[in-house]
Structure 1
Amino acid sequence: MAVKIYFEDFMPGERRVTTGRTITEADIVLHAGQTGDFYPHHMDAEWCKTQPFKQRIAHGTLIFSVAVGLTAGVINEAAMTYGYERLRFIAPVFINDTIKTTLTIKEKKAHKKPGYGIVSELLEVHNQQEQLVLVCEHLLLVEKKALHG
């Protein structure tokens, strides 16, 4: 579904929570193959038994990708991703953990390009125990209504 949500329509404090997604062993193996990251933390169950977490952990980049993908539901034709800032991996995600993303409109500000503004969305990713595992800010370049009216 495509919509047009303009800069003026975003309200700081507005939030939404995505559905959950369980991270599987297949996710980790596929991500390792796609990225070339075969570190034992992700791939070697026996070695991980000797480490502090005692089990394999998902790649941070995998969790980031899935978390962002969970937020993609409606296509906003008036906005595009401008970038991500302040990405932090707070806690490990393990095989069979289920993550959800909470997205909160943090702030809006002007952009140097006339007719556009920047909307900053705070992404917070929690596991099934409501533990924060990842946080970052998603920046959107968004058209202003003035361009169209």
Structure 2
Amino acid sequence: MEISQFFEDYEPGAQRRTTGRTITETDFVVHAGHTGDFFPHHMDAEWCATQPFGQRIAHGTMTFAIGVGLTATQINPRAFTYGYERLRFPTPVHIGDTLHTTVTIGEMTPDTKRPSHGRVVEITETKKQDGSTVMYCEHILMVEKRGAAA
């Protein structure tokens, strides 16, 4: 879905929640193939059974990609990604977990280098079915200010 929001249209505290997505064995295998990360923590069920976590854990980069990817149902052509900060994976993801992401509008500041834009921080939290947070990050958007294109 395309929305057209200027910097001034964002409201701190506004939230949206994505639909869910269940993690599969295929996700683990495809991500390992894409990244070359075949560490036993992700791929060796027998070895993982002997470890404190007891089963395979998802790659952090996969959790990030899926968690952020879930939010891509809303596209704003007036905004672009400036970057991500404070990325954390406080709880592991396992095969069979269902993830959803909540985006909350946080801090909004003018951009000193680009006066035609402002920075909007999207607090991005991905949780699994038990409500525990599996990924937290702050997504910084550069958003066009109203009247800047005129």
TM-score (norm 1): 0.97
2: CA distance between counterparts of 1:108 and 1:36?
Answer: 37
2: CA distance between counterparts of 1:127 and 1:84?
Answer: 21
User: What amino acid does structure 2 have at the position aligned with 1:93?
Assistant: V
The runs of 5 or more residues in structure 2 that have no matched partner are none
| Alignment match, 1:40 | 40
Deviation at 1:148, TM superposition (A): 3.9
| Alignment match, 1:67 | 67
Deviation at 1:7, TM superposition (A): 0.2
User: What amino acid does structure 2 have at the position aligned with 1:109?
Assistant: T
2: CA distance between counterparts of 1:119 and 1:127?
Answer: 26
Runs of 4+ in structure 1 over 4 Å off: none
Deviation at 1:147, TM superposition (A): 1.0
Deviation at 1:82, TM superposition (A): 0.6
Q: Report the 3-state secondary structure (helix = DSSP H, G, I; strand = E; otherwise coil) of the residue aligned with 1:129.
A: coil
Q: Report the 3-state secondary structure (helix = DSSP H, G, I; strand = E; otherwise coil) of the residue aligned with 1:42.
A: helix
Deviation at 1:114, TM superposition (A): 1.7
Per-residue CA distance 1:101-148 (angstroms, 9 max, x = gap): 010001100102121000000001110000111100000000000214
- Tell me if 1:6 matches 2:6: yes
| Alignment match, 2:99 | 99
Q: Alignment identity in percent?
A: 58
| Alignment match, 1:118 | 119
The runs of 5 or more residues in structure 1 that have no matched partner are none
Deviation at 1:86, TM superposition (A): 0.3
User: What amino acid does structure 2 have at the position aligned with 1:75?
Assistant: I
User: What amino acid does structure 2 have at the position aligned with 1:25?
Assistant: E
| Alignment match, 1:22 | 22
TM-score (norm 2): 0.96
| Alignment match, 1:134 | 135
Deviation at 1:94, TM superposition (A): 0.3
| Alignment match, 1:53 | 53
Per-residue CA distance 1:49-100 (angstroms, 9 max, x = gap): 1001110011010010001010011221100011000000101000010011
